[in-house]
Amino acid sequence: MSYCDTCVIRNQAICSALTTEELSALNAIGRRRDLEPGESLMWEGDDSLLVANVIDGVLKLSTGTEDGREQIVGVVYPSDFIGRPFGATSSQNVTALTNSRVCIFSRTDFDAFASEHPALEHKLLKRTLSELDRTRRWLLLLGRKNAEEKIATFLLEMAERLGAGGSDEWESPISFDLPFSRQQVGDILGLTIETVSRQMTKLKKEGVIDLPSRRAVVILDRQSLEDHAG
């Protein structure tokens, strides 16, 4: 039995476009790798040697600023694709935030395989365009929304990706664990850690969310949270 036969994200990942025979061929050039929190898979500016499907866990995409600080520019979840196919260098650092498992491929092997399988290339293009749309929404979040709207939008995004499997129809309450510290949330949203804590506490006092522990979040009233998100 191949890895693909037992893969829990097989129907959501880009390889869902392949036939059983094609999956077998893809499986032959891939391997699974487990990552611990803080372990990096790719580094900004290095040769683009690997691409990967995320099977389990959450990873961050980050870049370094001129003064040496880290800026988180994206987050990837199960079924997401990471790496730079057909590219010469890696554009971001890719680091595990939680215990994670990825299915990795040599970039040159994957490029050759994709060139021979148009359905996979098409799926990859659709995934890339979806990521572009998500990036544009994120630019709106960072550039135009206030602190309250940023936190509410961020929590909705986390709930959809971590708690409700990406469904647009989930109903509250829904629970999930944030893979970020409050400081990291602030770094992502361009807020101070004090502002993040203050806004989270405000939403809790209003009965919109509950915070059972430092990382746990329960959305009690989705509609209200959407209203706060603007």
Q: Residue with structure tokens 């944030």? A: 178
3-state class (DSSP) for residue 85: coil
Q: Under a CB-based contact definition with an 8 Å cutoff, are residues 87 and 17 in contact? A: no
> What one-letter code names the amino acid at 161?
R
Q: What is the pLDDT of residues 104-119, one digit of tens each?
A: 999 999 888 888 888 8
Q: Under a CB-based contact definition with an 8 Å cutoff, are residues 97 and 180 in contact? A: yes
- Tell me 162's DSSP state: I
> pTM score, two decimals?
0.76
Domains in the chain, CATH or no CATH each: 3-139 (2.60.120.10), 146-228 (1.10.10.10)
Q: What is the pLDDT of residues 18-76, one digit of tens each?
A: 888 888 888 888 889 999 999 999 998 888 899 999 998 889 888 887 777 777 788 88
